[in-house]
Amino acid sequence: MGSITPCLWFDGQAEEATALYTSVVRNSRIVSLSRAGQEPDTPALTVSFELDGQPFVALNGGPLYTFTEAVSFQIACADQSEVDHYWTALTAGGEESRCGWLKDRFGLSWQIVPTVLPSLIGGNDAEGAQRAMAAMLGMGKLDIAALEAAYRGR
């Protein structure tokens, strides 16, 4: 069976973007670079890389296409420390949005989501879930303690 590898289209920033992503996400690496010319300062045409073991390709395709929120990458975070780590690293030069969403400085959208979130906004306590959802809708970066407090009604 063949594999599926997402390809991200950049306008000359493929190396810079992959350097950021592989430095921020655990178990990540740049696998290879393909340059259009022989000179070492020639921009990469493609960069093959892995994020947490998932293969990707970054293509320097030019200004024709840009990223939209129609595609985003979701990072599941075990605790607030992980949420803070990814949020800080990926919003640097980018922009914060709502409900755990952000755009990095290359325009790629990310969702920084605590693993506990589904049990809070979809928990057995319907009123608690509604309170947690209302709290989440008022947040940029998700705050696990505040979400849990909202669920408990505190």
How far apart CA 24 and CA 17 sit, in angstroms, is 11
Give the number of domains in the chain: 2
Domain identity same for 74 and 56: no
Q: Are residues 39 and 110 in the same domain?
A: no
Give the sign of the dihedral formed by CA 77, CA 83, CA 88, CA 91: positive
What's the CA dihedral at 75, 18, 106, 36 to 10 degrees? -150
Give the model's pLDDT for residue 9.
98
Report pLDDT for 47: 98
Here the CATH number for the domain that contains residue 98 is 3.10.180.10
- Claim to verify: residue 45 and residue 92 sit in the same structural domain: no
Q: Are the CB atoms for 10 and 49 separated by under 8 Å?
A: no
**Dist CA 111 CA 129 (whole Å):** 20
For 45, the domain range is 1-65
Task: Please list the ranges in the chain whose pLDDT falls under 70.
Answer: 1-2
The pLDDT value recorded for residue 1 is 60
